[in-house]
Chains A and B, each alone.
Chain A
């Protein structure tokens, strides 16, 4: 069992982690209008979870992000990305052609970019969390 960390560490972690998670979502969805996008958002999300794991220990974090669920999310992001390509095949365009995804090419592009950035963000966050869990388990 990990020993209980000092009060300062726990309180600062309680203050920072929600802000970092919110910032990760902001970066994910505002990647179209400023710097940001899927990769950055995934890494920042994973950084928040890693901070929580470092302060409170792996057992407590795995009640919220259990290893089996993170393992599924690693593949779900990539499936979402490839699935958008297959969906454009079904709609009559080429693979990963976003123009055919909606009634209007511009809206199709917006929808396509939104979905694939989501897929990228999910996979990157899950991969970074997974790698940290594995290293943490191995170090014991």
Chain B
């Protein structure tokens, strides 16, 4: 059972490590790196599901009868490119945030916002 599910468990552990980096680290660029780790581990989960025992890469060739499933490959190909588009956009936003606030630490940004615009409760009362 260990060898049957090892791929899935390690993919989940990697997912959780990336998730932990996103929610606990205060630096915005580390959050983007954590998001990249999360996305790649999801890809590992999908590609592990597509492997067929005794199969080979899905490129037609003479003398080969079993191929690995090509459908998750197509899905993950799209997902990788969308992931890099998201990362690029996130990095552009981070560059602008740095230009405006002078820092990319989310706690310091939150404090700067509070002292410049006041607390939410003060503004409401």
Contact = CB atoms under 8 A, between A and B. Distances in A.
Direct touch of chains A and B (CB < 8 A)? yes
Interface of A: 33-35, 39, 124, 127, 131, 134-135, 138-139
Contacts of A138: 95, 99
Interface in B47-68: 57, 59
Contacts of A131: 88, 92
Contacts of B99: 138
Question: Taking chain B's interface residues, is the majority helix, strand, or loop, or is none over half, making it mixed?
Answer: helix
A134 B85 CA distance: 14
Contacts of B59: 33-35
A139 B57 CA distance: 42
Interface of B: 57, 59, 77, 80-81, 85, 88, 91-92, 95, 99
Question: Taking chain A's interface residues, is the majority helix, strand, or loop, or is none over half, making it mixed?
Answer: helix
A35 B99 CA distance: 41
Contacts of A124: 81
A134 B89 CA distance: 11
Listed from nearest, the 7 A-B pairs whose CB atoms lie closest are A131-B88, A39-B81, A138-B95, A34-B59, A39-B77, A135-B95, A135-B91
A39 B77 CA distance: 9
Given A35-B57, A131-B88, A131-B92, 9 more contacts: A34-B59, A35-B59, A39-B77, A39-B81, A127-B85, A134-B92, A135-B91, A138-B95, A139-B95
